[in-house]
Amino acid sequence: MNHAQTFRRMTGGRALWLGLLLGLLPMVSNQAAASEREHYIHSVIAMLRLQADTIRELATQDFKYSRNLARHAMLLHNTFGLLGPMDWHAVEATFLQKKKADGTTIQASTFEEMADQCQKSMKTLLQVSIQHVEKGGKPEPVLKALDDLQGRCDNCHALLNGTAPDVWGHLGK
C-alpha cells in the first residue's frame, strides 16, 4: 500500500468518525437544551414547594417573622408566574400530550376552567394571607386556601397522566 492509499484510508476513517460526531452534535445540543429546560422547571418547582412550606409554617406559628406570611403568598404567586401565564400552560400541556401520544387529551374548555379556578385559588390565598397578617386569627383559612390551590394544580396535572411534573409531591409520580 502506498502513502496515498494509506492517507485515504486514514482520512476516510477519520472523516467517517468526524461526520458521525458532527451528525450527533445537534442531538447532544437538543438534549442539553432539554436538560437545561428541565433543570429550570425543577428549580422553580423547588421554589414553589419552599414557599408553600413556609406559608404553612408561618400560618401555624407566631414568632418574629410570622408577619411575612403575606409576602410569601405573594412570592408563591410570583414564582408561579415564572412558569408562564395559564394560556402558556395550555400550550405546554398540549405539547406534552402530543409528545406522549397515548391518546389522552384535555379539552381546551376543561383546561381553561381548571386554570381559571387555579387563579381564583391563588387570589384567595393572597387575600386570606393578608387578612391573617392584618387581623390575626386562626391558621385554618390560610391552610385551607393553600390546600385548595395545591389541589387544583394536582387535579390538572393528574389528568396529564405523568406528562406534567408533580409540583407539590402529592401525585406520587
Is residue 106 within 8 Å of residue 160, measured between CB atoms? yes
Report pLDDT digits (tens) over 65-89. Answer: 888 999 999 999 998 888 776 666 6
Residue 22 reports pLDDT greater than 80:
no
Report pLDDT digits (tens) over 145-163. Answer: 999 999 998 888 887 777 7
Is residue 157 within 8 Å of residue 165, measured between CB atoms? yes
Q: Residue ranges per domain, the chain?
A: 40-159
Grid cell digits, residue 42: 425543577
Is residue 115 within 8 Å of residue 130, measured between CB atoms? no
Is residue 95 within 8 Å of residue 89, measured between CB atoms? no
CATH of 40-159, one of 1.20.120, 1.25.40, 3.90.1200, 1.10.150: 1.20.120
Global pTM value: 0.72
